[in-house]
Every structure is written in structure tokens, then in C-alpha cells.
Amino acid sequence: MKKPIALALVLGAFAAGAVEISSVTAKQRWPWNNLVDVDFSLSAPAGEAYRVELEAKCADGTKHFAAKTLTTDPTVMAGENRVTWDFGADYPGVRAEDMHFAVSVVPVAEADKPLYMVIDLSGGTSAAKYPVRYTSIGPEHVRGATNEPCQTTELWLRRITAPKTAFCVMYFRTANYNGDAFYAKLTKDYYIGVFELTQKQYNLIAGTWPSYFNNVDCRDSRPVEQLTFNTMTGTWEDTSANPNLISADSPLGKLRAKTGLPLNLPTLAQLQYAALGGSPLGREIYQYYVDGAQAALNDIARYKGNVEIEVKETTHDADGASGTAVVGSYLPNGYGLYDMLGNVWEISATPKYNGNWSAYYKTKSGDSTLGTTADNPVVDPKGCAASEASEQNIRAIYGGSWYFGSSPSVWLFQSKVSVADWRNDDMGYRLTMTVE
């Protein structure tokens, strides 16, 4: 019969820089089932995630054990954390009178599994705080399913690594139009919503149901729409350039306060890069790829060709066959992001300049070649001031909607990039957070 380990002095370890581990404790499960729970406090920058490494030594220093089997996700964040080590699985039959445990963390590297931030909204509008966790395991989602936690009570965002090369923004070409193009370079990683923001998630943050497709039988997992930019943020200005203008009583302001995180709306460049899903940069026309192959339109988007356009005003689409689809009803892109094309246009933080974007950045910088080539890109481009926009309520949007796009030439290429920010049932939101 195996003798249970007795846990004695527990040691903490320190990561480099300002990252500090403290208050480390370990406790065996009783009755003994080979599991050890290790609790610790991590002081680290908000928004960063780390992978835990555990070690144990006999008190007399004669034996050393490294954790190989954790039953919990090894990814942790700032605050209180617990990881569980299946000690018996790694070292069956080990007998020890006492152990010294050490905890260390290393930053999550680019080569590691995808990293997700998960915000627990289940406390609703009355919650003092929304708990946040990080994980390398993606959301449990069945394509087309409704009312899953990841669609309703949890807000999932995936970390995107800043590309090492520049790429074209707002660039698309059809038979009758050559798009306004400039090269951009993103220098900071950022998190972006795995799904479009849903009506239930918005209700848990703001306490209201503003959407047109609001039938109670099928609204929770559908994207929130009919929501103007200034209602969401409390300002018409570019919130990525001026986050201090986000009002405390706006839905976005409340979410920032209750998470302690600098959540925001994406720039147009962030939206477009995320939509590429890791497909090769430098294409003249960006296309939507799934598992390395160009996807069929019907498989990737709710659009005009696969939706019943006529919506009964009295029912506001009781059965979900018209208008918006439940988020996650179609294939995700290479980053695991759903509905990057179709369903609802996604409103960016970027006001639409009253003129040519390429010329705007050249004029502002005094560099007549800025953005012309990948060797001289616009770095982390923001939008213009609301006073410089064609109208203060004009935003840059991305992705198309259920009401537009009757052929792949509209959908697999970037189509419209700006529209008046009125209340409309085909415009919604996808949240982001830039890692500073």
C-alpha cells in the first residue's frame, strides 16, 4: 500500500522581471488519490499569461521530482491560482515523509498552444467584478449549437501574435473598384473575440436588449445589433487612440472596470489581420482559408445567398431562419475565430476619414512614401479624429453581414469599409484588448 506524501515546507520561486510568486501552499487530496493541489499568488502585468512549472524535493534533498502530469490547465494569470499535479501518475509507488514544493512560471511563448482569455459574465450587472482566467484550451463549442457558456455567460478572446511583416489594410479589388490601400505593421499582440458579442453577453454587461432580432426563443446566442458606437463607448472618438474617452457608465466602460483590463474595440487593421486567420500575407485579394484551403462561401458565412431576407416585423424572426445566425454556426478561420465574414458587420474603433486613407497617413507624417510599400508601413495605425471624419458617426466596419453578399466576389474579398453608424440590424461588435 502506497504511503501518502506529507507536505512540509513549501517554497515559492520567482520569474524574471516584475513577475513574483508568493503565498505558495500545497495540499494532498484526502483520502489520498495521487493528486496534489498547489495554490499560489502571482503578481504579473495584466493581460499576460504564464505556464506553470512544478518541482518537489524530499526534505533531506535526496530525491528531486519534476511535474509532468497536471490535471488542470498549466496556463495562469495575475492573482490567485491553483494547479493540480497528478503526482502518483508521474511517480507511482513513491514513499516520502515530507516534500518541499517549488513553483515557477515562464511566459507563454509564440510556439505554445493558442492562448485564450475568458471573462465570466455570469454575475450580470450586479456583479462587483467579472472573474478572468487564461487557458490554452479552446472553448467547448459545437458548431450551430445555442446557449453554450462561451456564447452567453462567458466572453472568450483569443490572443493573436503581432505579425513580423507588414500587410495591406483596406485593400480589395473587384471589376469596378480598386480599394484605398496602405501597408500597416502591427507591433503588439492583441486579444480578439472568438465570437461576435452576443445579446446575452451584452445583457449581462448592460442590462438591456437593444437588438432587432430579439425574440426570446432564440436571441441569447445571436449577435447584439442595433447598437450605436457612442452607446457602446460613450464617445464618437477613436477609442483605440483615446481610451480615456470611454465613459465609465458605457457598457465598454463597465466591462473595463469590472475586469480591470483595457478592453476596447479593434482597429480596422486588427480586424482585418485577425480575419486572415493566418493565411499567407501579401495576397492582392485576401481570401478566407480553412485548414489551408479556400473555403466554400456557404460554409463560412451567413449571407444573402443562404438566408431568408423577408423578416416578419411582428415576430422579429421567431425561428432564427432569417436575419442573423447564432454565433459559431459556420466554420471558424485558421485562428479559430467564428463569423469573421458574414452575420453582422463588425464596427471598429476607427472613424472613416473624409478622403483617402493612404494620403491621410502620408500627410500626417510628412512622409510621401509612408504606407506605399511593406518596407515603409504605417505602424499600429489608428483612425482620424471625429472632427476629420466625413461625419462624426462614420466608422470603418469589416466583414459583411447577413443582408449583403450574393457571390464569393463580395465575401472572399474585403468589401465595404465604412458606413454611417446608425442603428441597424446587421452591424455588431467583436471586442479586443491590446497587450501593452
More confident residue, 33 or 233: 233
Residue 14 lies in a domain: yes
Query: Do both 47 and 141 map to the same domain?
Result: no
In a domain, 308, yes or no: yes
> Are 173 and 25 members of one domain?
no
Condensed to tens digits (0 to 9), the pLDDT of residues 168-194 reads: 886 554 444 455 778 899 999 999 999
* 1 part of a folded domain: no
Q: Encode pLDDT of 347-369 as tens digits.
A: 999 887 777 788 889 998 999 99
Tell whether 96 and 216 lie within a shared domain. Answer: no
**SS3 letters across the chain:** CCCCCCEEEEEECCCCCCCEEEEEEEEECCCCCCEEEEEEEEECCCCCCEEEEEEEEECCCCCEEECCCECCCCEECCEEEEEEEEHHHHCCCCCCCCEEEEEEEEECCCCCCCCEEEEECCCHHHCCCCCEEEECCCCCCCCCCCCCHHHCCEEEEEEECCCCCCEEECCCEECCEECCCEEEECCCCEEEECCCCEHHHHHHHHCCCCCCCCCCCCCCCCECCCCCHHHHHCCCCCCCCCHHHCCCCCHHHHHHHHHCCCCECCCHHHHHHHHHCCCCCCCCCCCCEECCEECCHHHHCCCHHHCECCCCCCCCCCCCCECCCCCCCCCCCCCCCCCCCCCCEEEEEEECECCCHHHHHHHHHCCCCCCCCCCCCEECCCCCCHHHECCCCEEEEECCCCCCCCCHHHHCCCCCCEEECCCCCCEECCCEEECC
- Residues 348, 409, single domain; the answer is yes
Integer angstrom CA distances of residue 340 from 108, 277, 292: 26, 9, 16
Domain that holds residue 272: 116-434
234-260: pLDDT as tens digits: 999 999 999 999 999 999 999 999 998
pLDDT at 16 over 80: no
What average pLDDT does the segment 53-75 reach?
82
121 or 341: which carries more pLDDT confidence? 121
pLDDT one-digit tens code per residue, 24-57: 888 887 777 778 889 999 988 776 778 888 888 8
Domain final position from 54, 86, 107: 107
Q: Which of 65, 80, 107 is a domain's end point? A: 107
Q: Do 82 and 226 belong together in one domain?
A: no
Residue-averaged pLDDT of the chain:
82
CATH number at residue 66: 2.60.40
User: Of 81-85, 114-118, 240-244, which gets the smallest average pLDDT?
Assistant: 114-118
Same-domain status, 344 and 422:
yes
Domain with residue 415: its CATH number is 3.90.1580.10
- The domain tally of the chain equals 2
103 domain-assigned: yes
Of 107, 132, 162, the one marking the end of a domain is: 107
Residue 34 lies in a domain: yes
Q: State the pLDDT confidence band at 112, using cuts at 50, 70 and 90.
A: low
Is residue 326 scored above 60 in pLDDT? yes
pLDDT digits (tens, 9 = 90+) for 418-427: 555 556 888 9
Residues 233 and 355 placed together within one structural domain of the fold: yes
123 lies in the same domain as 51: no
Residues 239 and 182 reside in one and the same domain: yes
Question: Both 197 and 294 in a single domain?
Answer: yes
Q: Does 64 share its domain with 168?
A: no
Does residue 425 sit in the same domain as residue 304? yes
pLDDT tier at 312, thresholds 50, 70, 90 = low
- Tell me the CA distances in angstroms from 132 to 47, 109, 188, 305, one per residue in order: 10, 20, 21, 39
Under the banding of pLDDT at 50, 70 and 90, the label for residue 328 is very high
